[in-house]
Structure formats: C-alpha cells, structure tokens
Amino acid sequence: MAASSNPITHRKSLIGSPSNFWLHSTRTGFDLTHPSSPSIPTPGSKITIQTTTAPITISPSKSALIIIDMQNFFLSASFGRSRGAGHAACDQLVTQAIPAARKAGIRVIWLNWGLTDEEVSDIPPAVKRAFGFEAVDEDVGLSLDSFAGQENGVGVDKFGKQRFQGGHVLLENGKDGRIYRGLGSACGMVRLEDGSMMDAGRLLMRDTWNAALYPPLDSMFEDGKKLGKSPDVWIHKNRMSGMWGAKTACEEFLEKEGIKALFFTGVNTDQCVGGTFTDAFSKGYDCVLLSDGCGTTSPEFAQHCFEYNAARTFGFCASCEEFKKGVDRIRS
C-alpha cells in the first residue's frame, strides 16, 4: 500500500492569558515577543533562536541577558578556585553571549550577591549555613550578641566541620578555609595573581573586592555601563535567588523596562542561577538557560538535570553559540 501523500497540516495556538501570552506555530515555533494583540505584531526587530526543543522568537527590546554571581569569591584563584565549569562559562560569555547581546541591543544585567549589614542580620539560618558560620568553645556562653560573630571564633562549614581557627586556614580539596566563616565575615588579605596583597573585605558585602566581578567580566561591565543606549546594570541580591519573595530589585527593574524574556547565565547552575530561573518562571517571565554560559561545582549530573528541566518544564535551553547565531540573523 502506498504511503499517504497528504501534506502536513500546520497549526497555530495562543498560550497564556490576555495580559501575558505566547503565540505558537507548528511551522515556526514559539513567539515570545508579547504583541499587544495576536493580530498586531510587536514593532521592532526580531530574533529567532534554535533551542534544544524548538525555535523561539524574541524581541530584543523586551529581553535581557542575566549574568549571576560571576564574582571573585566564586571564581578567583585567590580563594583557591581552580579552573572549572564557571571559568569555561566565563569564556563563553566573553566571546559569544555578551558581544551578541550588545549587538542586538539586549539589556545585560549583572545580578550579584551584595549585602548590607541590615540584610546580614535578617538572613535566615538555612541561608547563612550555606556559607558556613562561626563557633566558640563549648564552655563559652551563647547570647543574641553571638549573631554578630564571636571574637576568636572558629570557622565551621555547612557540614559542621571546622575549617578556620586562630588565623590558620584549614584547606580541603583546594578550597580556602576563609570561605567557611559565614556571610559578612572578614575574608582577610588575599594574594592576587600579580603577587600583590589585597584586603578581600567581608564576605559578599557590597563594594568589597571579594564581591567584585571576576576581572575578565569586570572590564566588560565597565564598558557596558557607559553605553548610551541600554547600558549594563548591576543589581544586588540577598538570597540565592534574585527573584525571591514578593518583589526584588531585579523584578522592579524588569517591570520598569518592560522586559519579559530572560537569558540566564552564571554560577552555580543548580543553585543561584537555578533558583532565580525557577522563581522567574513562577512569576511569568520567559526563561531561557544558556547552558554553556553557566557552570557549577556540583557533580555533572546536577548540570544535566537543570538543563533537562529548563528545556522541558521551566522554559527553554540553548547554547551561547545558538544565541549568537540568532542575533546574527536578526531581522527588522
């Protein structure tokens, strides 16, 4: 029996609500440009990007490249950070994703840990534990004052293991023991690549060296914030997620600028990047993970798991190369 010669019937759909919807075509994929009406195209240029599951079309003026926590604390050799997935992600951002975003007029947002004293005092124990804490001898009394840190305290990591005592750093797996003293704790002096010494400041506090961007990206941010149109922005966060709770500074900025489509990069994929990604998804943003633009120190399966769910549940997954290819095909 001869095979059917009937042509494929293509179909289209409207997905979402009257105030927030996508268009879909079985021929062209998902349209994430958010027109005011299904019959009125969004004005301006369009970019179509091939993701791991389907093509998506975005409006550059309604999109942002979000770069999360690419800070000295997480990447610098001065903290014992050897080259890894985060550094490979940095290379992809420098060579492909950031130049492509600049070319298309896509906003670049640097979303980073940057705490105030008030925020440190209000952070819940589960979040503080993730960065270690300080402990005192068993015969020393505890009081509410101990939340500000103890003189001569001992650094304890999130698993309850001692890592820092009396100015002596205890190392494990190449990690610097100073990272286990907790958010807001003094990191002390560190040796830079040129051999000079630098006061790293208090852990992940605003305007400190440890919370500054990793140098290759810092220079790109400095260039980007000088752009006359759609300059780069730096936004502080005070949790793993930059979109947690009722409303954060990041969400306020996105609303003000009318940004809907978010391309996520940074470290760590399954922690701060992933937490921000899933919170943004729950709040109705269009979320795309640029898989090789982010990395994690977790086992490889953690990266694969988040890529899988980003592509099949929370939004879409693409590479920095496909992002760049889409921009190179930009159409008016």
For the stretch 248-265, pLDDT in tens is 999 999 999 999 999 999
Residue 137, in any domain of the structure: yes
pLDDT in tens, 198-215: 999 999 999 999 999 999
Q: How confident is the model at residue 60 (pLDDT cuts 50, 70, 90)?
A: very high
| Greatest pairwise CA separation for the chain in angstroms | 88
Place of tokens 């399954």: 270
Three-class SS of residue 166? coil
The 10 Å Cβ neighbour count of residue 25 is 14
Q: What is the pLDDT of residue 156?
A: 61
Quick one: average pLDDT of 271-297?
A: 98
Quick one: average pLDDT of 142-155?
A: 59
Residue 199, in any domain of the structure: yes
Q: What is the pLDDT of residue 135?
A: 72
Kindly tell me if the per-residue pLDDT of 47 is higher than 60. Answer: yes
Position 74, amino acid: F
Residue 271, in any domain of the structure: no
Instruction: Tally DSSP H helices, then E strands, for the chain.
Output: 10, 17
CA dihedral 214→217→222→223, nearest 10 degrees, is: 170
Q: Which domain holds residue 145?
A: 124-204
Picking from 157, 206, 188, 167, the residue whose alpha carbon sits closest to that of residue 79 is 188
Kindly tell me if the per-residue pLDDT of 41 is higher than 50. Answer: yes
Q: How confident is the model at residue 146 (pLDDT cuts 50, 70, 90)?
A: low
Residue 193, in any domain of the structure: yes
Place of tokens 């942002």: 64
Count of domains for the chain = 1
Residue 253, in any domain of the structure: no
Cβ contact 178:164 at 8 Å: yes
> Residues 293, 289, 310, CA angle at the centre, nearest 5°?
140
Residue 169, in any domain of the structure: yes
Q: What is the pLDDT of residue 174?
A: 45
Quick one: average pLDDT of 213-227?
A: 96
Quick one: average pLDDT of 34-50?
A: 93
Backbone angles phi, psi at 208, to 5 degrees: -110, 160
DSSP 131: T
Residue 34, in any domain of the structure: no
Q: What is the pTM of this model?
A: 0.91
CA separation (Å) from 165 to 53, 133, 136, 182, 299? 51, 12, 10, 14, 29
Kindly tell me if the per-residue pLDDT of 1 is higher than 60. Answer: no
Quick one: average pLDDT of 154-171?
A: 54
Q: How far apart are CA 127 and CA 154, in angstroms?
A: 19
Residues in the chain: 332
Residue 135, in any domain of the structure: yes
pLDDT in tens, 76-104: 998 888 899 999 999 999 999 999 999 99
Q: What is the pLDDT of residue 154?
A: 59
Helix boundaries (H) for 211-317:
215-224, 249-257, 274-282, 300-309
Kindly tell me if the per-residue pLDDT of 63 is higher than 80. Answer: yes
CA separation (Å) from 83 to 75, 273, 278? 8, 19, 27
